[in-house]
Structure 1
Amino acid sequence: MDLLQLYEWLDIKSILIFLCVFLLLSDYTRNKAPKNFPPGPWSLPIIGDLHHLDHSKIHLQFAEFAEKYGKIFSLRIFGPRIVVLNGYKLVKEVYTQQGDNLADRPTLPIFHDITGDKGLIVGNGYKWKHQRRFALSTLRNFGLGKKSLEPSISLECCFLNEAISNEQGRPFDPRLLLNNAVSNVICVLVFGNRFEYSDHDFQSLLKNINEAIYLEGGIWALLYNMAPWLMRRLPGPHKKIFALWKEVIDFVKEKVNSHRADYDPSCPRDYIDCFLAEMEKLENDTAAGFDVENLCVCTLDLFVAGTETTSTTLYWGLLYMMKYPEIQAKVQEEIDRVVGGSRQPSLSDKDNMPYTNAVIHEMQRIGNIIPLNLARATVEDTQIGKYSIPKGTMVTGSLTSVLFDESEWETPQSFNPGHFLDAEGNFRRRDAFLPFSLGKRVCPGEQLARVELFLFFSSLLQRFTFSSPAGVEPSLDFKLGATHCPHPYELCAVPR
């Protein structure tokens, strides 16, 4: 190596060393823990606390961190620090007493690149408040949470039962049928029509949603949020997330465009029609977000949120009925006694079916569909406990820590309908039952989900007995993405 080559090699080496030092200092400066910030594991540069975490069971590790660092701790996962709240009393106190200050969502690059700052889930501020108020008001007018929606759900129960009956007791995976049935309820409210279970295009769409939600909870999504400027240019599984959501968004856009072509503002058929009418009323208030792009994202949010969590809860529920046939038999005995076999279960039966109601609540509790909760962000500098939390910090109240709080539940790790029954066998409400979260960002579809779960579950168990295929032991193993759901399984549905 001559002198010139040596100088060139040293220059390249110096540049690389400089870049490494720059990146490390930049990461340290941007993500240094503020003064009086909640404690947490020792973080490494760039990757933060990734080396401490098993992403397949991170919701369970939160309990371990809480034991070590306290009920308020912090983590760094490829970027800014996240404050995690643990336990029912703490989560309730912070989310209710500081609700206004935790009304924002953090801006995460992967979601921003999919939907921008639009919609009901990740939107913030003035626009979000207008959109949430409008969505709740509109859906209530169409029967959300009311008895007027019951006939539509009961009809869908009939279609679902017929589809399951067609399996003739053979082993099958019920996931897509459950997705389709639950989705049809929100489809009627949002799009004005339902979809046949034989509609393979729609079933493919539901598969895309399931896969995208799973991938969004994975390591590639975390990498994207840490370095979006790099990940936008690199190939990888994260690209599939965008491809999957594009298909879903294109489907929604097609529905919106067909509505725009023939809607009558004096006779709205569904949420999209009502939104189009509101666009005309508020065309001068552009900040309220009543435009076509926001309509597409809001519709997408309602469609996805109205499908995924309820269908996954039912998917867990049928698995637990196979696992505990004695519980399934007690539910069926109550259905036979209260409803009989000549008519479908009705909401008016619910108060007379405490055991069935308790089982459904326990399905929601132990199913723990959104274990980490959806993160929120502080609107301004605030105090949580003895710690100072700067404006814009991500905060999440772990729903796992609430739904499995040992100080609130007698046997938190067991499937126990007794959690929701008193000594006389009457249904009892539990304060720590918060699968829909609480505060300003409580799930807007809570009332619809409660109605759907009761009618679908009781209708299914009225018609069928669910069991594992011969020689197969039901497994409660889960997979964790953006939601917590069972590994795919098959069951046999034998008509009663």
Structure 2
Amino acid sequence: MELSSSLVLVLVLAVLMLVKWKRKASGLSLPPGPLALPLVGNLPIMDKSAPFKSFMKWSKTYGPVMTVHIGLQRTVVLVGYDTVKEALVDQADDFKGRAPVPLLNRVLRGYGLAISNGDRWQQLRRFTLTTLRDFGMGRKQMEQWIQEESRHLLNSFDETKSTPVDPTFFMSRAVSNVICSLVFGQRFDYEDKNFLHLLQIISRLVRFGSSPWGQMYNIFPKLMEFLSGRHHAMFREVEDIKAFIMTKIKEHEQNVDFSDPKDFIDCFLIRLIEEKHNPDTEFHKDNMLGTVLNLFVAGTETTSTTIRYALMLLIKYPHIQEQMQREIDRVIGQNRIPNMDDRKSLPFTDAVIHEVQRYMDIVPLNFPHYATHDISFRGYVIPKVTMNTYNGQLLLSWKYFPMISSWYVVLNLDILCNFGWILFPQDTVILPMLHSVLRDEGQWETPWTFNPEHFLDANGNFKKNPAFFAFSAGKRSCVGESLARMELFLFIVSLLQKFSFSSPKGPDGIDPSPELSSFGNMPRFYDLIASPR
């Protein structure tokens, strides 16, 4: 028994040495990075509350392309505008892979748009973009939906009678109703208890993903499945959202009009029926559920959180709020409904909205990318390794050795695979850090300060900045970017047109620093007072 175990270990070490030799002989090498420990990688020296701060610090030693081990996961981190742009834009095809985030995989099982790759991703992204545009995303029809929802939002604030309220679900109800109109073909009453229940789950889910417990699940998913904790309750709650979506899909199946689809689900059902005999189709119920879930969650939480953060900053800096209101009064007045054509006449307001997104830095690490093949980048190799865990076994592919290229060795090392072993890394995750772009000192005059002047020229006109990567960039940029831009402008302008916002504790009682800073920067909860103007 001891002899066979020794032979296995010798075999494994030999394979690793030969793979390393093969890569060295080819002139390719991994980017440098801090020394990693077995099992835990660089976790002991990482800032657990804000990992991106550690990455920024380490990049000063190892450069803008570096290798970090987050637990067992080998991760290549890209830092700075020039580096991230070169990867996501200049080498867009190489960096279009999406990493299988364990937390999302547990919910989506690999289906849907957000975490898929290859032909599935291409088909679903093309279909989603086309369908959303057909239903008015970024066009006049969508503008009218947002204007209508703005009236409901304004009425809900008016009903507060200038008493302190938490704005969280004021924002999420309004923003979610826009994506619900697109996806489900209906809006929901603000007093609908089931609707509010779903929004509460979405809020908890997003915050959980950036909590230490959520990140532990992403780092050690198999281990976490064996441990008790609130992640199990979170997964059970998400089933309520999935059940709601499936109910809506079944309702649509009974009423779909093939000649006149009313929403995203209708269009998906029609495509599903058209391709039901195609064995390679990606248009089936699992992908429908996954994609609708992607749109519902992302279309609700990110934009509503950004608006809530915008009001927080305007309360913190009342002189900026007042300057925006003076500009809105001069251009629109207090009676006419704002429209998207007003944006070009509201340069300061537009600049503030952009600066809110830059300063908020909502997804500092970016959504993780993935090496779907070996990538040559800046003289390094970002490898898709040939050693993968699969169903509790370790599979070693011998593609580097042509004399036995058809052979595979499967080592039954269930314990090592379940709890990890540094000698057998997973495929490479890539983090093109948006934080490093939105805070790049070579691109922003005062990157650590909330400063709308970043988006204004010397004459007070709005100016673009190429480093504004709030929606990421390249082939994996946010599919709902044009919708989010429209919502941010119309909702914020409508609110400031009718109300002035303050805090019961005054400007000094507002803390704009995030409560959680991991996958996302999650702003703190706060109360505000909406005073009619």
| TM norm. shorter chain > 0.5 | yes
Quote the offset at 1:222 in angstroms. Answer: 3.9
CA contact under 8 A between 2:41 and 2:71: conserved in structure 1? yes
User: 1:484 matched to which residue of 2?
Assistant: 521
User: 2:371 matched to which residue of 1?
Assistant: 378
**TM norm structure 1:** 0.92
CA contact under 8 A between 1:378 and 1:395: conserved in structure 2? yes
CA contact under 8 A between 1:127 and 1:287: conserved in structure 2? no
Which AA in structure 2 matches 1:152? W
For residues 64-463 of structure 1, what are the structure 2 equivalents within 5 Å?
64-391=57-384, 392-463=427-498
CA distance in 2, matches of 1:95, 1:162: 42
Please, which moves more after superposition, 321-330 or 222-231?
Answer: 222-231
SS of 2:50's equivalent in the other structure is helix
SS of 1:320's equivalent in the other structure is helix
CA distance in 2, matches of 1:298, 1:477: 32
CA contact under 8 A between 1:48 and 1:76: conserved in structure 2? yes
Distance 1:286 1:487, change over 3 A: farther
CA distance in 2, matches of 1:139, 1:87: 32
Please, which moves more after superposition, 470-479 or 269-278?
Answer: 470-479
CA distance in 2, matches of 1:328, 1:102: 40
**Per-residue CA shift, 1:366-400, capped at 9, x if unaligned?**
01111110011122111121211112421111000
Please, which moves more after superposition, 100-109 or 148-157?
Answer: 100-109
SS of 1:82's equivalent in the other structure is strand
Quote the offset at 1:483 in angstroms. Answer: 2.1
Quote the offset at 1:313 in angstroms. Answer: 0.9
CA contact under 8 A between 2:47 and 2:53: conserved in structure 1? no
CA distance in 1, matches of 2:142, 2:166: 28
Quote the offset at 1:29 in angstroms. Answer: 6.9
Asked if 1:59 is matched to 2:52, the reply is yes
CA contact under 8 A between 1:377 and 1:393: conserved in structure 2? yes
**Per-residue CA shift, 1:412-459, capped at 9, x if unaligned?**
111111111101100101100110111110111010011111000000
SS of 1:440's equivalent in the other structure is helix
Unaligned runs of 5+ in 1: 1-13
Quote the offset at 1:226 in angstroms. Answer: 4.3
Quote the offset at 1:111 in angstroms. Answer: 2.2
Quote the offset at 1:154 in angstroms. Answer: 0.3
Distance 1:403 1:229, change over 3 A: closer
**Per-residue CA shift, 1:51-75, capped at 9, x if unaligned?**
1122222222221111122111121
SS of 2:450's equivalent in the other structure is coil
SS of 2:463's equivalent in the other structure is coil
Distance 1:408 1:291, change over 3 A: same
SS of 1:102's equivalent in the other structure is coil
SS of 1:331's equivalent in the other structure is helix
Distance 1:108 1:324, change over 3 A: closer
Distance 1:219 1:69, change over 3 A: same
Quote the offset at 1:357 in angstroms. Answer: 0.4
Quote the offset at 1:110 in angstroms. Answer: 2.9
CA contact under 8 A between 2:75 and 2:428: conserved in structure 1? yes
Quote the offset at 1:481 in angstroms. Answer: 4.7
Distance 1:162 1:134, change over 3 A: same
Please, which moves more after superposition, 287-296 or 428-437?
Answer: 287-296
CA distance in 2, matches of 1:444, 1:108: 19
CA distance in 1, matches of 2:89, 2:335: 45
Quote the offset at 1:238 in angstroms. Answer: 2.1
CA distance in 2, matches of 1:457, 1:163: 15
Q: CA RMSD in A?
A: 2.3
Quote the offset at 1:359 in angstroms. Answer: 0.5
CA distance in 2, matches of 1:426, 1:290: 46
Unaligned runs of 5+ in 2: 385-426
CA distance in 2, matches of 1:241, 1:117: 18
CA contact under 8 A between 1:38 and 1:73: conserved in structure 2? yes
Quote the offset at 1:191 in angstroms. Answer: 0.3
SS of 1:75's equivalent in the other structure is strand
**Per-residue CA shift, 1:301-320, capped at 9, x if unaligned?**
01111111111111110001
**Per-residue CA shift, 1:444-479, capped at 9, x if unaligned?**
101001111100000000011011104561111212
CA contact under 8 A between 1:214 and 1:482: conserved in structure 2? no
Distance 1:370 1:209, change over 3 A: same
Quote the offset at 1:227 in angstroms. Answer: 4.1
CA contact under 8 A between 2:52 and 2:518: conserved in structure 1? no
Which AA in structure 2 matches 1:483? G
SS of 1:145's equivalent in the other structure is coil
CA contact under 8 A between 1:214 and 1:480: conserved in structure 2? no
Which AA in structure 2 matches 1:264? D
Quote the offset at 1:177 in angstroms. Answer: 0.9
CA distance in 1, matches of 2:159, 2:272: 45
**How many residues matched?**
476
CA distance in 2, matches of 1:148, 1:230: 48
